[in-house]
Amino acid sequence: MSRNPLQIADRMSSIEASGIRKFFDLARTMKDPINLSIGQPHFDPPAIVADAAIAAIRSGENKYTPTQGIEPLRVKLREKLAKRYPIAANDDLMITGGVAGGVLLSYFTTLNPGDEILIPDPYFVMYKHLAHVAGAKPVLYATYPDFRITREALEKVYTPKTRALLVNSPSNPTGQVMNEAEVRLVAEFARERGLLLISDEIYDEYIYEGEHISPKRYNPDTLVLGGFSKSMGIPGWRMGYALGPAPILEKMRILQQFSYVCAPAPAQFGVLAGLDFDFTPYRKEYRAKRDRVYEGLRENFNVVKPSGAFYIFPELPKGISDQEFVQRCIERSLLVVPGSACCSKNNYVRVSYAADDRTLDRGIAVLNDVVKSFR
């Protein structure tokens, strides 16, 4: 029997290239692009973080670390998180290859083929595709029109096959932050139905009103995924963490041994030095950027004012598709992400305001001009 040595595994047919990442490549081909597509902070890491990583490199900390991360970082991070919510005695903590690494490890260690995982709509694109790769079924629960979670939406999609419930607050792509009622809701819903609750909290430092509330506060079995890419300006360092029940963390650690092996060694020392860094000035700066973009768009778009992260998710006027809108923006050198890359609808766009104010003002002007061009 003749076989094709270049045959691709069947599992790859269930995923496609990121509708967001392609804008990274497109930006490189454009002259002076107005790039509001990138989901990364526009600032470099604080000196204390960079200097510690450089010092670690120069002092020989370039070898493998324990799979779960260096002990000083794990201890100090656990102490920091314990100030936010109770940490159970049987909880464990490990350093992962970014939150993306944590998502992959959590899926592959907890989801069996045919299991269903409830994912918010809109969603971070990775959630859905990695579920497919794990053999599980991603099921979307709607949060429209105000991007709030309701019991009705969760009950509508829950089935006996549901194994896990995922939440993301502050949200990528909407910037919405769960309030205390929503946090209690998801914590109770997961507990009532015996679901694993996975909470992606990568944007926890970007809260512009109130405080960040983790479901871990009300559901001790929550698996928290967090990281430092956004708060320390180090997305390329791939530094995240997972905190949750030890039986799950043990299997995640074993899987990391045979995949990522460990998080980058020098980066762990950089993050250790940055755990005491005061993020307040950056938070104030990004709150002002949020206000700048929201005020600049609300006259011509139906837009929910985000409470966190650094995204805004405008709804396009009726009859305008996101793909056509984005194409007209590209013709004006503006890069934004079509909403259909991260939601079930095709009448939204994701705008990142992680950019300098001049770029934001140029982008606001183009967005308003383009939407008017459809009238």
Question: Tokens 């679901």 sit at which residue?
Answer: 195
> In angstroms, how far is CA 94 from the centroid of its own chain?
18
In a domain, 3, yes or no: no
Q: Are 179 and 295 found together in one domain?
A: no
User: Residue 118, class by beta-carbon neighbours within 10 Å (0-12 exposed, 13-18 middle, 19+ buried)?
Assistant: buried
> In angstroms, how far is CA 130 from the centroid of its own chain?
13
In a domain, 5, yes or no: no
What is the C-alpha separation between 317 and 321, in angstroms, rounded? 9
pLDDT at 363: 97
Q: Which amino acid is at 40?
A: Q
**Element housing 241 (H / E):** strand 240-245
In a domain, 270, yes or no: yes
Q: Are 223 and 109 found together in one domain?
A: yes
pLDDT at 32: 80
Domain end marker among 274, 302, 321:
274
In a domain, 287, yes or no: yes
What is the C-alpha separation between 272 and 255, in angstroms, rounded? 24
> What domain count does the chain have?
2
**Count of residues in the chain:** 375
Q: Are 160 and 222 found together in one domain?
A: yes
Q: Are 180 and 33 found together in one domain?
A: no
Q: Are 351 and 260 found together in one domain?
A: no
**Element housing 225 (H / E):** strand 223-227
Q: Are 134 and 55 found together in one domain?
A: yes
Distances (CA, A) of 129 to 99, 100, 140: 15, 12, 12
Tell me if residue 22 falls in helix, strand or coil.
helix
Domain end marker among 253, 274, 295:
274
Domain end marker among 249, 274, 299:
274
Q: Are 260 and 365 found together in one domain?
A: no
What is the C-alpha separation between 76 and 69, in angstroms, rounded? 12
Q: Are 260 and 329 found together in one domain?
A: no
Diameter of the chain measured on Cα atoms: 66
Q: Are 112 and 19 found together in one domain?
A: no
In a domain, 2, yes or no: no
In a domain, 184, yes or no: yes
Beta bridge partners of residue 261, listed in sequence order? none
Domain that holds residue 40: 10-45+279-373
**Element housing 253 (H / E):** helix 246-257
What's this model's pTM, rounded to 2 decimal places?
0.93
Q: Are 307 and 352 found together in one domain?
A: yes
Task: Output the domain CATH number for residue 191.
Answer: 3.40.640.10
Task: Output the domain CATH number for residue 40.
Answer: 3.90.1150.10
CB 347 within 8 A of CB 316: yes
Q: Are 251 and 283 found together in one domain?
A: no
What are the per-10-residue average pLDDT scores of the chain (375 residues)? Answer: 71 66 58 89 95 97 96 97 92 96 97 97 95 95 98 98 98 97 98 98 95 96 97 94 97 94 96 95 97 97 97 96 94 94 96 97 97 90
Q: Are 208 and 286 found together in one domain?
A: no
